[in-house]
Each structure stands twice: as C-alpha cells, then as structure tokens.
A and B are shown apart, each in its own frame.
Chain A
Amino acid sequence: MAYSDDPEWADIVPLPQDDGGPNPLAAIAYTEEYSEAIPYLRAIMAKNELSPRALALTEDIIDMNPAHYTVWLYRAKILLSLKADLRQEVEWLNETATAHPKNYQIWHHRNFVIDNLGSAEGEAEFLAQMFRIDSKNYHVWSYRQWLVRRFDLWEQGELEATEKLLEEDVRNNSAWNHRFFLVNGREESAGVKGTGVREREIKFAQDAIRKAPQNQSPWNYLRGIYDRAGLPLSDMKDFAHEFASLDDPDEVHSSHALDVLAEIYGEQDGRTAEATKAYELLANRYDPIRANYWNYKKATLTHGNGVAAA
C-alpha cells in the first residue's frame, strides 16, 4: 500500500526533497516506490519520531537504498528507544545482508545490534551462509575478526574453520589472513613465538605450497610468519630450492620461490651472481608481467652491494 493511502500515515505531511535545480548533478530517475517513501521518511526524521511505524519505514528505505548513512543511525536510535526485540532485528539483518552483500553500513549496524545483544549465538551459521555467496567478502571477514575479539572465540574452532575453507580453496587469501590474525592477533598470547606454534604454522604453509607452488597466498603467509618469529629469510632457502633450481632454468615450478631465492642471495656477500640469475629468470621467463620490477631489483642489487653483477 502506498504511504499516501495508508491511514497509519494520514497524520504525516510528507516533506518532499528539493533537488536544487536547475541542472542538479547526478540526478537519478528514482523508482516510484522510493519517490513515494522518501518524503515520509524526511517528515518523521525532521520530527525525530521514534516509533514502530518509523522503524518499518526505515526498513523500506534501506531495502531500496542501503547506503543511506543517517537512516541506519536513526534506526539504531529507534530500536533502543522502543527496547525492540534485537533477535528479530538480527533475523531481518540476515536477509538484508544476503540481499546487499557489499553494503558497508549494514555491518556497522550488525556490530551495534550483536554488541547490545551480548551474544554471538547463530553468528557462525550466518557467516557460513555469507561465505557461500562469496568466501572473500571483505566486510564479512572484518566482522568475523570483531566477533572473535568481542566474544573471545579464539579457541572456539576458528583455526579449524580456516583449515576447512583453505581445503576448499587454497587460494582464498582472506582465509589465510584470518589465520594470521588468529595466530598473532591475540594480545595475551605469544602468537607465533609460542611453543610449537611457529613450527605448526610453518608446516601448514609449506604443505599448502607443496600442493600449489604458484599460489602467492601461502608464500606471503610463510614470510609473514618468519618475520613475526624473527627468523632470517635465509632459513627458507632449502625449502625454496624445492621449487626452483638456479642451475637448471627449466626446473622452476614457482616464481615466488625464485623471488625468495633472489632476496636471500641478494643479502649474502658474494652471492650476487645467484641473485642476478634469479631476477633474470623472473624477468625474462617466469614472471614477465613484472619484468620492469625484477630488472629494477637486479639493478638495485648491483648498486646496493657495490659489486658488479655477474
């Protein structure tokens, strides 16, 4: 039913939008529904009416324009004022998030609601549902980190969940990043410096690399663990050599391994020739997209060590 025909809204004088012509910029051919609803929203926001009908109207507006930054804040205020059932709000949010998976404001609102509810019950199922739509949705992953901190979920199967997602898609960089957060993001934990954790994480990344050596995510993860643990990159040399031989240029299975080897040899005295060779293989054969970069690295190498490259 149109708002203008609805007895519940009969007392409201719609407050139409003045678009500011002539020649307004980015004028939109609004849908009929939006054109009808917005003047009612404006009228009750001007009155700061905090009522059930206002709540219903914000729902209608959000469905058409989820990026409306004040309508979300207005809705939050109404919810608190009416002491509304926040469980119901979560159910509505679940549907809305599915309909607008890339909307930004919705996650801010969800934080507010779940924080006020004080419970993460049902959130795991909701996240799984969102990941089925897109397992790399940035908002969902950011929200998941917030949940872990807010409800102390560090030991509640999160690590296992990243393993499962990486079994499904070993190239899901979001899942790799979440794992790094779980291992290192907890203030009171030693993280990768803890007993056994470093070894576990190195093995986890190495196993993933052996599955798919050209996958950049676990290579970055492995380097991240090394940095965090204070291990020298040179400790990675034998592992990197599993995927790249500098003696036999046909035996290279990962450009990322070459990259690591170039950096290791570049930092070693008297090994500039090996580093140069690795950069040349990258530039000329194994990673031509970044040829300019590898040649630049090669040049930096020569200057950096003050030794002419072989």
Chain B
Amino acid sequence: MYSGWVDWSRSSSPDAPVKQTPGSSANADQLHHQPCSRSMCMHVSFPMPPSYTLTSAHPLTHRPCASLTSPPTSCAPEPPKAPMPIPMPMPLEPPRLDHSSPLNKQKHTKYFLRCLKTFLPPAYTSNDSNRLSLAFFTVAGLDLLGGLDANTTAQEREDYIRWIYRLQLPTGGFRAFPGTDLGDRNRDEATQEWDEARYRWDPANLPATYFALATLLILGDDLGRVRRKQCLEWLPRLQRPDGSFGETLVEGKVEGGTDPRFGYCAAGVRFVLRGVEEGGLRGNGLEGVGDVDLEALVRCIRRAETYDGGISDKPFHEAHGALSFLNRLSPSPSPSHPTPTNASTTTPTRGLTNPSRTLHWLLSRQTATITLSDDTQTHSDETDTAETCHDAHTFVHPSSFPSKQGRRMYEDRDKRDNEGGRGEGGRFDVEWTGFNGRENKVADTCYAFWVGGALDMLGHSNLVHTPSLRAWLLDRTAHPHLGGFGKHAADLPDVYHSYLGLAALSLLGGEVTEADKNRASEDEEVKALTIDGLKPLDATMCISKQARGRLRGIWKRWESENESSG
C-alpha cells in the first residue's frame, strides 16, 4: 500500500503515485514539491510561491477534482486515478562526457508524473492564476524525458487537451486558470450573444495563450479547436503604441506591465497561428485579419538595451538574463522575420545594436558563485577576497574560503601552473558553474535555460563551459531522491525550475559528430537524443524539436483548407 511521498521516493519504489481519494491522507507532503524556496530571481511570467519550508506544516487535503468545484456532475464522481503503470524502461546508460552524475531519468520522470497525476501541494495556491504555466512545465518536462506517451493513456491525453480547450474564450485567446471562468454569466441573458463587455473579469491572457498552444502541440493536438481568427484579431489589440504588449485587455484597456515577456508570447502566438503565411491570411474568413506591428516591437526591445550589453524590460532598467533571452527571441519565431543575428547584417532596424557586447554579457553570466552564502558574503565587503570573487579563485589572494572548491582552486594553483594550465587538472578544472540572471548574483537553475537559450539562438552555445554547467545541474540542483530541480544548489524541487533545468540540459546536447552535421533530414535530427538521453530542445519555443516539428503539418492543413475554401 502506498504510504506517503517520503517513503515512496526514498525507497525508489516503482509504485506509482495516484491522485488520492478523499479521506486518505498523505502527510509529510512537504517533500513532494518545493515551490521555489527562496524567491531571489525574478520569475519571468511564472512567479513561484513564497517561502515554503520543510518544517512548516502544510497538510495536504486531497479532494476529488478540485476543491472549488461544486456541481458534482462536472467532476465529482471521478474515480481515483488508476494506479499508473510505471514499468519504466530503465534509462540507457548515457555515455559519460565528464565526471558529473548521470541524469536519473527515472527519478525525474516520477517527479513530473507526481505533478501530472496528483494534486500539487497547497503552497502552489499562490500560483493558482498560473495554472496553464504549471501545466506546460509538467507536460513539457515529461515530453523532454520521453515519458509522456509511455506513462499516460490516449484518453488521459485527450482529457488534458480538453482541459486546455475549456480555458479558451469564445472571443479568442485563453484564460490562465479556471478561476476566472464565470460560466454562463458571461453570456448576455437577453440575446444569448457573447458580449465582450460582460467578460470584464474573464479576459484572455497572453502568456496563458502561448502556453496553451505550446502544451497542445506537445500533447499531439492538431489545434483544430483553436479559435484562430478570433485569437489573431485579439492579438494586435494587446499592443501599445510604443510597440510593447500587455497581458490582458480589460474594458478596452491594455493591462499588465511593459514587459518583454508579453512581446515574446505575442510573437510565439503569432508564429503558431499565422505560421508560414506571410502577411494576409487567406480563406476561412481570415482575410483582412490585422497583424501585430513587428517593427514597433523590435524598436521597443532595442530601446531596452543596457549600457553593459544586456537587455532589460524598459529603457534604463537593469539588464536581466531572462529578459535578454526574451528579447533575443521576440522577433525571431517567425520564419518570415529572420533572427536578429541575421537581421542585423541585412536590415538595420532589426536586431541588436551591438551583438558582440550582448554575447559578452550573456557569457559573463556563467559563474562559480553557486550557493547563497557565496552571494551574501559579498555584502559589506569592499575588497577582493575569496568570499567576494568566486570566479577568480585562481588569482585573488584570500584569507579564508567560503567553499571547498574555492580552497582547492587556490591551493592547487601552483600545481596547475606547472601542468601548463590546460585541460583536466589544469586551471580549467572549474568543478561547478551555473548561470546567474544579473551581475554579481548567485547562480539559479532557470538562467541556465534563459541565458543558454539566448546563446543557442545567437549560434554561440558552443562557448559555454559545458562540463561544469552539466555537473552543477546534475550534482547540485537536481534532487537526488525526489527528482526534479531546485532553484539553487541543494534546494528542493519545484516544477518551474525542474522543467527549465531539463531544458538547459537538453540544450547542452552532446558531442556533435560529423555524421550529425551531415544529417540531411531534420526528422532524423529530432529523433536523436542528447547525451543525457533527452529530446533535443527548440530554444525559441522552449519545447522539444519534435513537438515544434508538428507545426509544419498543421500549417499545411490550414493552407489546404484555405485553398479549398478560398
């Protein structure tokens, strides 16, 4: 009998967790999930719950379906979820690139299955309004691990798809969670017409709409139920005169900060729904659907470039890793608009002002400052010491050391000098490094993706110091017992960092052979797994290349529908 998360996860029992029926108890659930223990970084578009510690008691109260659901007919007689068959195939031993721990695919798969098939703990309540984001991380994580089809039935996947479509609004776009769906009260009682004025408090949400489309793609849906025309008509209405995008449209007003994450989501939605079609859309009543102003969006992003080569959310705001990623990305998902790297040589109004400074800034985010004590010890210390210069142990003459690594780096410096300072045992022996989001901040798992993804899009991911980054992700931020990834070294996992940790690992790929380079077919490329046994990631959409590849068929179908109807 299943007896609780802790025993289960520690004993690595193959028993699958199930969503429990009311009345059963699961204590010590604190170990089940750790929603972002310390909110040090700005979570772009997916703020995680506040502090949630092991010692605080959060009894998990299991309910059928969701606690807020009342009409019993809608979900109540839901039987307990069938025990999941996890006769999980043992992961193939990946070839070892370095000395880091291997990726334990089985444990990570179990982590994501817990997120998928059991209730997230109460601490996620503060992220109730981000349900679609949480759903995306969960489904996309299982997909990267290659565990989605193996551990879910076709019926379950169709249920997930239906759940997402229930969040779609008749007027286009998706709400971010069921909480704003006020049901029939949104329909005009007299005329039974959908009246947008009555949607005042149930607006479509831009990031949610991107996550909905991306999750549907991963689940193998054909997007046939997407209200494409309405969504494409809604999209330009979210753009402000300065080119930036808001999050929602409430009573005709664009709401939400001026934040490039919205621009990214707009570019993503436009890319998926407009697809290969340049400019005007033909057929199916899609003629004349206006487009967003891409030029204005790019101008808006360029204005947010900072003096140090990074990119922020607004002119003069501080450069930020995730924002730099988003801005690298914003104009690029459309094939008709080349990535800024290419664009900068062809079209002066597109692309970064100074790509080489941005490259410099991005690569400067890789750091050996990986624990919070490393970070906080810089405070009130105005001189260079081992405590303050974690990336410079080899030449700063310290009086004490914050970490064993620092001590070893320093004490072995003469030895390394004698060895010529190259390769194993030389000065390259930086054991663990992560990425931070801003200057002089501690490494955070999510930035391994945000910065790694931006570098990938710039075509320079080969410049990352890969062995130490992989070692940090696998040895320090992956949870050895529970699976998943935490925000910082030794943190408990949460679903946001768990997905982006996997995404970052996937981007590290493996050693590219000549045979890889010569592969003619893109299909073959997506089938190949990375060195860690993950599906290769498409950094621009932050989903597997395989999932993104399904767009081609969908666009082709839309084209032919257009031709037959137009």
Interface residues of A (CB under 8 A from B): 14-32, 34-35, 38-39, 42, 45-46, 48, 64-70, 73-74, 99-104, 107-108, 134, 136, 138-139, 141-142, 145, 168-174, 177-178, 180-181, 184-185, 211-217, 220-221, 223-225, 227-228, 252-253, 255, 284-293, 296
Contacts and interface: CB of A to CB of B under 8 A. Distances in A.
Contact of B256 (A28, A48, A69, A288): A69
Closest 8 A/B residue pairs (Cβ)? A224-B307, A16-B70, A19-B66, A17-B68, A21-B75, A25-B135, A23-B159, A220-B308
Contacts of A139: 42
Given A142-B317, A286-B395, A69 B247 contact: yes
Contacts of A14: 70
B244 interface: no
Interface string B412-456: 000001000110001111100100001111000000000000000
Contact of B428 (A107, A177, A216, A288): A288
A193 B122 CA distance: 55
A109 B61 CA distance: 33
Contacts of B382: 170, 211-212
A286 B207 CA distance: 42
B106 interface: no
Interface in B362-404: 363-364, 366-368, 378-380, 382-384, 388-389, 391-392, 394-396
B201 A45 contact: yes
A172 B361 CA distance: 17
Interface in B132-190: 132, 134-135, 138-139, 156, 159-160, 162-164, 166-167, 176, 178-183, 185
B131 A172 contact: no
Nearest to A178: B318
Interface in B40-57: 40, 42-43, 47, 50
A28 B66 contact: yes
Given A16-B71, A24-B65, A290-B366, 17 more contacts: A15-B185, A21-B66, A21-B69, A24-B66, A24-B163, A25-B160, A28-B127, A30-B68, A169-B379, A171-B439, A173-B441, A181-B316, A214-B388, A224-B307, A288-B421, A288-B465, A290-B364
Nearest to B115: A26
B294 interface: no
A81 to B, nearest CB: 13
B275 interface: no
Contacts of B130: 67
**Which of A177, A253, A287, A296 neighbours the largest number of chain B CB atoms within 10 Å of its CB?**
A177
B182 to A, nearest CB: 5
A185 B315 CA distance: 8
19 contacts: A15-B182, A19-B69, A21-B75, A22-B75, A25-B116, A26-B131, A27-B120, A28-B119, A29-B61, A29-B119, A48-B201, A69-B176, A171-B440, A181-B317, A212-B383, A216-B439, A255-B391, A285-B394, A296-B460
B467 to A, nearest CB: 11
Contacts of B162: 20
Given A169-B378, A286-B392, A224 B468 contact: no
Nearest to B184: A46
A245 to B, nearest CB: 12
Nearest to B259: A104
A18 B69 contact: yes
Contact of A253 (B167, B181, B364, B395): B395
Contacts of A46: 182, 185, 201
A138 B438 CA distance: 10
Interface string B525-566: 000000000000000000000000000000000000000000
Contact of B317 (A145, A213, A227): A145
Interface in B208-261: 215, 247-248, 250, 255-257
A180 B312 CA distance: 13
B272 to A, nearest CB: 19
Nearest to B116: A25
A27 B61 CA distance: 12
Contacts of B465: 288-292
Given A42-B182, A252-B395, A138 B320 contact: yes
Interface residues of B, number: 120
A24 B314 CA distance: 37
Contacts, number: 315
Given A21-B65, A212-B384, A227-B307, A69 B439 contact: no
A70 B201 CA distance: 6
A3 B132 CA distance: 28
B389 A214 contact: yes
B12 interface: no
A18 B464 contact: no
Contact of B384 (A134, A214, A290): A214
B78 interface: yes
A171 B388 contact: yes
B62 interface: yes
B306 A177 contact: yes
Contacts of A172: 440
A288 B439 CA distance: 18
Contacts of A289: 366-368, 391, 430, 433, 465, 468
A221 B307 CA distance: 7
A104 B438 contact: no
Contacts of B462: 292
- Name the residue among A17, A213, A221, A290 with the largest chain B CB count within 10 angstroms: A17
Contact of A136 (B19, B116, B366, B441): B441
Nearest to B205: A69
Contacts of B475: none
A141 B317 contact: yes
Contacts of A42: 179, 182
B428 A291 contact: yes
A102 B47 contact: yes
Nearest to A217: B439
